[in-house]
Structure 1
Amino acid sequence: PAELRIEKCTEHLLDNGRKGWLTWLQSSLLEAIYVRVIPDIRQIRPKEPVFWHSYLLDEPSPFVPYTRDQESAVKDPYFLCLLDAVGLVLPNPKGIAYPVIPSDMLPHQMFDYALKLGAIHPEKLNFNPNDISVYEWKMFQVTATFDSAPDKSSDGGGGGGATGSSIDAHMWPNLVHLMNNQLAINQQQPQKTA
């Protein structure tokens, strides 16, 4: 299961002095969330323009290494296993040069994976975790609207669209509660200096 792979790969990387790789992955996931949940994406200056442009184009976001250390990371089997476990699409000979964050990966999924990589201190976030549920609730409403619209196909079937949505509206209060609890715990923990 993905949970066990994340735990084992993270443990191995930490034991081998690769905390920086985990921090890079975590901050990249958080930046990818940020560009998805802000109200008007065109009015921001993101730290990571690749995620910003990818989101504007509704394309997967490449997880691009910029340093030699990061280049080593995307070649390391344990780090690649971790990327796969958190849902990134791995490089392949058929045209994907770098791992990518799928365009359909939801912000709450990315936040959950980011939490599994280590503590997230609120002062390092450039968005409010409550914005995740607001964004996804809006997406759920749009999806539900399209799913319940009459079928306008040429056969005149008149049936509705898809019968369901992959988002469960009842999970939002629990999700927000979970994120707020985790952030409160992180605020109470003293920050360790390197």
Structure 2
Amino acid sequence: MPNRPVLDFWYEFASPYSFLSALRIEPLAEAAGVTLRWRPFLLGPIFAAQGWSTSPFALYPSKGRYMWRDVERRAGRNGLALVKPETFPQNSLIAARLALAGREAGWMPAFSKALFQAGFGEGRNIAEEAVLNAALKQAGADPGVAFPASRSEEVKGRLRAEIEYAKSIGIFGAPTFVTEDGEVFWGDDRLEEALDWSKHGR
């Protein structure tokens, strides 16, 4: 039996469009026969390299208004509630480190989905320890193990390396999907196309 194709799913916990993809990607990938590789990273350093101090959706009010309405429409179509967080973009550093700490243990996807639901489904602050704790427990992870692991130099270095690798392959936003042959698809609305390319190629 041939190996299943692998699709890299690059996502940022502060990204509303990543929220949309994270909560729908698994059944679509399974139906397509594609294996997912969840890759949390931070957009802040990537935006900074482009001369932006924050998200372009925060820098340009008209773009931000459109984005929130667009996400609301897409969420509604997918049966998801959307609650805009009080602060945008949120600080997602600890969230990304925690997710990477759970890669080998296998709870990264479940934690990611739980935290996205808290952040954009309920408007919670994803930098708060109580919110992170709840997402870890929902994913079956032990916060007493996960938090110390997330503060290790190994995990901090892993996140830095992921950001640098994302830069090197031209990622500039989230979510981004990258196929095994290096094809890059940006945005929740490109998910199905990315899965199709991953399976069938050009």
TM-score normalised to the size of structure 2?
0.24
Q: Which has the higher contact order (CA 8 A, sep 6+)?
A: 2
More strand by share: 2
